[in-house]
Amino acid sequence: MTVFVAGGSGTIGIPLVRALVAAGHQVTALTRSSSKQDELRALGASVAVADALNRDALGAAVQAAHPTHVIHQLTALPKDGVRRASDLEATNRLRIDGTRNLLEAAVQAGVRRFLVGSFAILSPRGAAAAAPDDAAAAAVRSMESQVLEASARGAIEGVVLRYGLFYGLDAPSTTAMIDMVRKRRLPVIRGDAGQLPVISIEDAVSATVRALDAAAPGAAYDIVDDRAVSFTEIVDAIAEYTGSAPPRRVPAWLPRLVAPYMARVTSVRMPLSNAKAKAELGWRPKYATMRDGLAQMLRHAA
């Protein structure tokens, strides 16, 4: 296959490009930044430099790559984490306008299949629990429905992959958490009843590669591991596996006051099933649970 990866230089993009090249596909990775070209070429990909919000430039980049498949992994989240809803504005724009531009470019270039990486917690089911009228949830809803509607009208084969929260030693969110746990700066929440859907980046990549040909057109899949976890369980596990002091325990109102967006996300109760992804994609997560994944990754790194 000839695969165009929008977001090819991102946290999932880099290992995804590497895995696609290893599987024998021709890959073009999109970035806005010429300075990332060498790194992407070293992975074995061709590079397209364009802004996804520039409709004409993106259209030309997709046409030039002649892809059979497009994978949409665009986000613009702050590198030091999302603290408030306004931190999501640039990503919301990419999910609405960037998706429209990329989808239009793909249809015009005669692309067969369009995969979009979505975020389970803000997907239509999760959003009801997390935030019914939130702009971020509306943007995810727009992104998913644009792809599924294009698929329903036969313009392209659209597939939605609803990833759990990413983790891995290459994920900035995980390394920041490890650093904070080591310094005993990341508290856990008393009575934390959250059930967060999670997935290692390695497993998100393998599911995405499988979905290129195995997913049903017009389908949405929850790409999560076998068991949801609470934020407290994650922090406690990092402390245990890194030999750090036990995290401080704080009442739930404190994070709601200091970091309202994070507090809302971490209190989500969303135990999703990966049964459909396992059955239809022929995929299994390498790490059944986040505890397994973190234990193995941290042991390996040590």
**DSSP category for residue 269:** B
Closest-by-Cβ residue to ligand NAP is 10
The nearer residue to ligand NAP, 10 or 59, going by C-beta atoms, is 10
Reference 8, options 121, 21, 166; nearest CA is 21
The nearer residue to ligand NAP, 15 or 247, going by C-beta atoms, is 15
Least separation in angstroms between residue 278's CB and ligand NAP is 19
Query: Binding to ligand NAP by residue 227, rule CB under 6 A?
Result: no
Q: Which two tokens stand for residue 140?
A: 């995810």
Residues between 3 and 32 that touch ligand NAP (CB under 6 A)? 7-13, 30-32
Reference 53, options 106, 95, 117, 97; nearest CA is 97
Binding mask 136-155 for ligand NAP (x = CB under 6 A): --------------------
CA distances (Å), 94 to each of 33, 90, 132, 289, in order? 16, 6, 20, 31
H/E stretch holding 40 reads helix 37-42
Reference 166, options 220, 116, 117; nearest CA is 117
Least separation in angstroms between residue 10's CB and ligand NAP is 2
Query: Binding to ligand NAP by residue 114, rule CB under 6 A?
Result: no
Which residue type, as a one-letter code, is found at position 78? P
Site size toward ligand NAP, by CB under 6 A: 27
Residues between 74 and 103 that touch ligand NAP (CB under 6 A)? 74-77, 94
To which residue do tokens 């290459």 refer?
A: 170
The nearer residue to ligand NAP, 51 or 226, going by C-beta atoms, is 51
Stretch that binds ligand NAP, among 48-56, 59-67, 213-221, 271-279 (CB under 6 A): 48-56
Least separation in angstroms between residue 1's CB and ligand NAP is 19
Got the DSSP string for 156-200? Answer: SEEEEEEE-EEESTT-HHHHHHHHHHHTT---EETT---BB-EEE
Query: Binding to ligand NAP by residue 163, rule CB under 6 A?
Result: yes
3-state DSSP helix/strand/coil % of the chain, to nearest 5:
50, 15, 35
Stretch that binds ligand NAP, among 111-119, 209-217, 264-272, 292-300 (CB under 6 A): 111-119
Residues between 119 and 138 that touch ligand NAP (CB under 6 A)? 119
Which residues would be at the binding site for ligand NAP (CB under 6 A)? 7-13, 30-33, 36, 51-53, 73-77, 94, 117-119, 163, 165-166
